[in-house]
Structure 1
Amino acid sequence: MFEEASEVFDNMFKSSFPLTFIVFIPAVLILVSPLPAEAAHEFTVYRMQQYDLQGQPYGTRNAILNTEARTVEAEVLSRRCVIMRLADFSYDKYQKALRQSAGAVVIILPRNMSAMPQDIVQQFMELEPEMLATETIVPVYFAMEDDELLSIYTQTLTSSSSQGSLSAAEVLVHTATANGFQMVTSGSQSKAISDWAITSLEGRLAGVGGEDLPTIVVVAHYDSFGVAPWLSYGADSNGSGVSMLLELARLFSKLYTYKRTHAAYNLLFFLSGGGKFNYQGTKRWLEDNLDHTDSSLLQDNVAFVLCLDTLGNGDSLHLHVSKPPKEGTPQHSLLKELEMVRTHRYPEVKFSMVHKKINLADDMLAWEHERFGIRRLPAFTLSHLPSHRLAQRSSIMDVRPHVDVKKLSRNTKVVAEALARVIYNLTEKGAPGDLQIFTEQMQVQEEQLSAVVDWLTAQPRAAQLVDKDSAVVSTLEYHLGHYLKDVKRHYVKADKRDPEFVFYDQLKQTMNAYRYVKPAIFDLLLAVCIAAYLGMVYLAIQNFGVLYGVVRRLTQPKAKAH
C-alpha cells in the first residue's frame, strides 16, 4: 500500500509539476499557520487611579487591553503590553513605555510587599505621586505575582531581550516565527460613577455645667490612598489616626460617665470621608454646620480642633499649625500639656511645632486642620511625620507592618493625658507633670488599638470603594455609637454642574494571558506569501503552454545515441 502511494507521488513530481505546486503549497501554508490561541492564565489586575479633582483629570484614562506582551527590554514597545516587575521598576522605564505609546503597562507586585528591600519600597513610594500627577492615556495595571504570572514574565523577558542583539533581518524572522502572549482584559471602558456619596461620621460627649461650654473637636479621616485604589490599605495613614480616635472616644466616654469626672467641655468626634481627596467630607461638614444650621457645636465656643494623621510609628511627634497659638488660649494649653506629658513620661519622644501657612493657591491642602483654619476655627494636626510631602501618606506600600502598635499605644497615651490635663485644667490646679490619669482599667488598651488597625487594613478603603452601605462605614458607626451620643452620618455628593470630584469604575478587572499567539507581522508575511503564490499560479495558468513545453523538455528522457 505504501509503495503504491509512493509511486503515485513520484509520478506527480515527475510528470505534473504545476499540479504538485498548486496542491502542496497551500498544504504547507496551512501547516505553518498559527496554532489556536490557548488560555494560559487568568488573573486579577488593579487599575491605576482615575479621578477628576477640581476639574483636573488624574491617573489613567483607559481600561481596555488586547495586545501582545513585551518587557521593557524590547526595542519596540508601541502598541504592546509592557510587563514589569516591581523589583526592576524605574520611572525611566515607565516613561519609555509611555513615550513609545505602549498599549498598556502591567506592574507585577510581590505577594509580601513588606518583605521588599527598603530602598525599592521607598523609591516606588516616591514615584507614585509622579505617576498620578497628570492624566495618562495608556492603561496602567498592577497584579500580584504568582508562579504562572512569573513564568509568563520570564518567557516574555527572554523573547524581548533576544531581539536587542539580533540584526534587522533576524529580528524580522524572530518576530514572525516566535510564539508570544496576548494580554486581554474583560470588561468595558471606564465611565464616571454618578451620584457617589462620600460618608462622614460624627458623635459627641456633652459636657456638664451649662449650655455655653467650650467644644474640643477630635478629627481623623478614615479613607486610604495609593496609586491603585484596590491596593490602598492606609495602615499608618490613616488607620493609626482612626484607631487612636476610637480609643480616645472609649476613654473619655468612661470619664464622662461619672459625675466626679464629667468635665465642663463638649467633646465632638468626627471621622471624615474623602480625606485623601482634599478633605471633601470635612469641607461639606463645615458648610452644613456653619452655613446651613442655626444650632451646632461648631458655631459655639470651639476651644480647638485636633486632627490625628499618621501616628503609628516613629519616635517623634509634630504639631502642624497654620498659625502659632497665642499664650493663654486653649490651643496653647494643649501645646504645653503635650510637651509636659512627653517630658515627664516619654523623654525618648521628640516633640516640635511645625508652622506652615495655608497656601490657597495650591490645588491640594497640606493637612486636614487647614480646612478648619480656612473657616477661622483654631486647629492643628498631630503626626509623627515632619512634612505633608512625605510619600508614605499616599502609597500602596503603607501596609499593616508599617504600624508599630507599641508606638501607636504610646502616642495615644500622650494625646489622652494631654487632652485630659487641658479639660480638667490640671496644670493651673498645680497637678504634677508626671500625674497619670489613665491607669488600671482606664488605661489605653494596646490590644484594642491593634485589633482596629488589623480590621482597617484587612480591606482597601479608597474613597471610591467605600460607599454609604459599605462594611467600613457601618462598623465605624457601630463603634462610635458604642461610646458616644447622637452619632450621625453626613454625606457629600459632587455638584452635577461643576463637580468638585469625579470617580470612575473598572478599577478591578480580570486579565487573560493567551499563549501560542503569533504576532501581527506573521499575518502580514503570511498574506504576502499567499499573494505571491496566487500570482505565480495565475502566471502559470496564463502561460501554461510555454511552461508545459519547458517542463516537458526538462523532464523528457534524452534519446540514446547510436
Structure 2
Amino acid sequence: MFEEASEVFENMLKSSFPLTFIVFLPAVLILVSPLPAEAAHEFTVYRMQQYDLQGQPYGTRNAILNTEARTVEAEVLSRRCVLMRLVDFSFEQYQKALRQSAGAVVIILPKNMSTMPQDIVQQFMEVEPELLAMETVVPVYFALEDDELLSIYTQTQLSSSSQGSSSAAEVLLHTATANGFQMVTSGAQSKAVSDWTITSLEGKLNGVGGEDLPTIVLVAHYDSFGVAPWLSYGADSNASGVAVLLELARLFSRLYSYKRTHAGYNLLFFLSGGGKFNYQGTKRWLEDNLDHTESSLLQDNVAFVLCLDTLGNGDSLHLHVSKPPKEGSPQHTLLKELEMVTSTQSPDLRFNMVHKKINLADDMLAWEHERFGIRRLPAFTLSHLESHRNALRSSIMDMRSLQKLSRNTKLIAEALARVIYNLTEKNAPGDLQIFTEQMVQEEQLSSVVDWLTAQPRAAQLVDKDSSVVSTLEYYFSRYLKDVKQHSTKADKRDPEFVFYDQLKQTMNAYRVKPAIFDLLLAVCIAAYLGLMYFAVQVSISEDRIAHCLPLLTTLLILPALNK
C-alpha cells in the first residue's frame, strides 16, 4: 500500500507545479496534523430539586439545555451554560449567572466528596437552602468530576478568561482558535408526577397485663434530602434514626418474647415517608389512626412519642420539646432517665432539653414530634443537633461516618428500658446497665447505615415498590407484629406536595468552533483557491507561449524567404 502511495506522489511531483501544490500540500498538512481529540463526551447529570409544597414552588423550573459552555470568568453569561467547580463555588457567582440570564448552570462535584476540605463542605451545606429558596427557570445540574469533564472545564475556563484581554486582535485570534463546547441534555421538559405514593411502615409489640395498656410510640423518617435528589444519601439525617429504631425493635422484641421480661407497655414502631416534605407520611398516619378508625393504639393511653433524628455523631444529645413535660408524667420520667443514664454511663456526653413552641405560621415544621403535638399527643425528638436549622439535615454532603451511633443507641435503649420496666432512680441504682456492649450490635447498626447510604432516598425516588420500602418491611417483619403499609397521596384538587420528573439525565458536551472560526476559514479557503487559480493561469500562459513559439518563428521567416 505504501509503495503504491509513493508512486502516486512521485507522478504528482513530475507533473506541473499547480497540481503538485494544490494536492500535495493539503495531504501533507493532514498527515502531519495531530490526532483529533474526542468530538463529544457523554456524562450523567443530576438536576436540582423541583417540587411544590403547600402551593409554593421550590428549585429549578426547567430541564432542557442546549447552549454553549462558559465559566464565571466570562464577562457575558447570557444564554450560556455556566460551568462551576465546587472547590471554586460561591453563592455570589451563582447569583451573577442568574442575573445575566444564563442558559443553565452545571456545578461539578468531586467524585469522592469525602476528600473535600471541611471548610468547603460546610460552606456549601450552608448555601444549599438558599439555592432551593430561589425559584429559577434556569436549569441547574450537578455532575461528578472525571478526567474528560475536568478537561472540558479547563479549556472552557481558558476561553472565558481570554475575553478580558486588552487587545482586540488577541481576543479575535483566541476566539477563532479556541475549542468551544455545546452542552446538550437528552431528556425532555420536566412535568408533574401524578399519583405519587409516599409509603410508611407500622409494626408493634403488644404488652402483657391487660387491654388498656400505655403505648410508647417510636418514630423515625427514612427519606433523605439535598439540593439534588439523586445525590441525597442522608447518612446522619436520617439513616442514623432508622438504624436506631430497627435496633430498638430487635432488642425489645427479644425481651418481649420471654414471660419474665414481657413488659406492661405496648411498643408501636413507625417508619415514616415524606419526612423531609413537612412529614407528610406522619400527617396521613395520624389522620388514619385518629380520625378514620375506631381501634388504634394512638387513640388509647399514649405515654409518649419519641422521634429519632440525626443520632450518628456529636458529643451532645438534645431532647426537643414543644411543651415541657409535667413532673410525674411518663415523658418527664424519660427525660430524667436520659439525664441519669448519660451522666453515669457517658459522663463526657452533654444532655439537655430544648424547648421550642410550634409555629403554625411556618411553611415547614421544625421537628417530627410537632406533627404529634398538633394532635395533642405528648411527643419529643431526640437529636445530637441543637437547632432544627442545622444545614446537615438537608444536604447532599451528609455522607460522613457515624462514629457515635452505637453509643447513642445504647443510651436510648437503657433509658427506655428503665421507663418500661419501672427501673427508675427510685427503684434501681443509677449505675445498673440493662444492655451490655455486646447486646447492642454495632456491626448491625453499621450494616443498616451502609445499606441505606448506598442509594439515594429522596422522597421523589422511593415509591411503594422500591427496594428501600420492601427491605425495611422485611426488617420490621423479623422483629414486630402486625406490620402494615400506609400510603399517602397528594389531594388532586389542592395538593400539599407535587413532585416532578427528569431529575437524572444524560448530558453531551460536543466540541465546536465559534462562528468567527467559520468566517475566517471561509476567507482562508477563498484566498487559497484564488491563489491557486492565479498560479494555474500563469502556468497555462507560459505553456501556450512555449507551444506557439515555433509557429511564430515560421511566420516571421516565410515572408523573408519569399522575398
Deviation, 1:519, is 2.6
| Equivalent residues of 2:223, 2:458 under 8 A apart | yes
SS across alignment from 1:261? coil
Decide which of 513, 519, 524 is 1:518's aligned counterpart: 513
Which deviations, in whole Å up to 9, do the C-alpha atoms of 1:325-380 show, x marking residues without a partner? 01010010000000010111111100000000001111000000000001110000
What residue number does 1:314 align with? 314
Which deviations, in whole Å up to 9, do the C-alpha atoms of 1:198-223 show, x marking residues without a partner? 00001000011111111000000000
In the alignment, the residues of structure 2 paired with residue 254 and residue 454 of structure 1 have an alpha-carbon distance, to the nearest angstrom, of: 24
In the alignment, the residues of structure 2 paired with residue 101 and residue 165 of structure 1 have an alpha-carbon distance, to the nearest angstrom, of: 24
Which deviations, in whole Å up to 9, do the C-alpha atoms of 1:399-443 show, x marking residues without a partner? 1x3411xx11110111001001111111266200111111376x2
| Equivalent residues of 2:234, 2:396 under 8 A apart | yes
| Equivalent residues of 2:71, 2:84 under 8 A apart | yes
In the alignment, the residues of structure 1 paired with residue 313 and residue 194 of structure 2 have an alpha-carbon distance, to the nearest angstrom, of: 38
- 1:420 and 2:430 matched: no
Matches within 5 A, 1:95-114: 95-114=95-114
In the alignment, the residues of structure 2 paired with residue 308 and residue 521 of structure 1 have an alpha-carbon distance, to the nearest angstrom, of: 61
Amino acid at match of 2:91: Y
Amino acid at match of 1:388: H
In the alignment, the residues of structure 2 paired with residue 295 and residue 7 of structure 1 have an alpha-carbon distance, to the nearest angstrom, of: 100
Decide which of 471, 476, 489 is 2:485's aligned counterpart: 489
SS across alignment from 1:254? helix
User: What count of residue pairs does the alignment treat as equivalent?
Assistant: 504
In the alignment, the residues of structure 1 paired with residue 508 and residue 383 of structure 2 have an alpha-carbon distance, to the nearest angstrom, of: 43
In the alignment, the residues of structure 2 paired with residue 365 and residue 167 of structure 1 have an alpha-carbon distance, to the nearest angstrom, of: 57
In the alignment, the residues of structure 2 paired with residue 201 and residue 526 of structure 1 have an alpha-carbon distance, to the nearest angstrom, of: 66
Amino acid at match of 2:66: N
In the alignment, the residues of structure 1 paired with residue 19 and residue 375 of structure 2 have an alpha-carbon distance, to the nearest angstrom, of: 98
In the alignment, the residues of structure 1 paired with residue 514 and residue 407 of structure 2 have an alpha-carbon distance, to the nearest angstrom, of: 60
What residue number does 1:236 align with? 236
Amino acid at match of 1:411: N
| Equivalent residues of 2:159, 2:175 under 8 A apart | no
| Equivalent residues of 1:37, 1:514 under 8 A apart | no
> What are the ranges of 5 or more consecutive residues in structure 2 without an aligned counterpart?
1-11, 22-35, 528-563
In the alignment, the residues of structure 1 paired with residue 321 and residue 516 of structure 2 have an alpha-carbon distance, to the nearest angstrom, of: 62
Q: Larger deviation: 167-176 or 250-259?
A: 167-176
Distance 1:362 1:525, change over 3 A: farther
What residue number does 1:28 align with? none
Distance 1:210 1:169, change over 3 A: same
Q: Larger deviation: 309-318 or 95-104?
A: 95-104
SS across alignment from 2:193? coil
What residue number does 2:200 align with? 200
Which deviations, in whole Å up to 9, do the C-alpha atoms of 1:440-474 show, x marking residues without a partner? 76x21111100100100000000000010010000
In the alignment, the residues of structure 2 paired with residue 125 and residue 76 of structure 1 have an alpha-carbon distance, to the nearest angstrom, of: 28
| Equivalent residues of 2:202, 2:268 under 8 A apart | yes
In the alignment, the residues of structure 1 paired with residue 461 and residue 304 of structure 2 have an alpha-carbon distance, to the nearest angstrom, of: 32
Q: Could you tell me the percent identity over the aligned residues?
A: 85
What residue number does 2:449 align with? 453
| Equivalent residues of 2:282, 2:371 under 8 A apart | yes
> What are the ranges of 5 or more consecutive residues in structure 1 without an aligned counterpart?
11-35, 534-562
What residue number does 1:403 align with? 402
What residue number does 1:468 align with? 464
What residue number does 1:552 align with? none
Q: Larger deviation: 108-117 or 476-485?
A: 108-117
In the alignment, the residues of structure 2 paired with residue 53 and residue 46 of structure 1 have an alpha-carbon distance, to the nearest angstrom, of: 21
Which deviations, in whole Å up to 9, do the C-alpha atoms of 1:269-317 show, x marking residues without a partner? 0000000000000000000001111111001111000000000001100
Amino acid at match of 2:447: A
| Equivalent residues of 2:13, 2:20 under 8 A apart | no
Distance 1:201 1:7, change over 3 A: closer
Amino acid at match of 1:344: T
| Equivalent residues of 2:125, 2:395 under 8 A apart | yes
Matches within 5 A, 1:1-16: 5-6=16-17
| RMSD between aligned residues | 2.3
In the alignment, the residues of structure 2 paired with residue 192 and residue 449 of structure 1 have an alpha-carbon distance, to the nearest angstrom, of: 37
Task: Please say which structure displays the higher CA radius of gyration.
Answer: 2
SS across alignment from 1:69? strand
Amino acid at match of 2:513: K
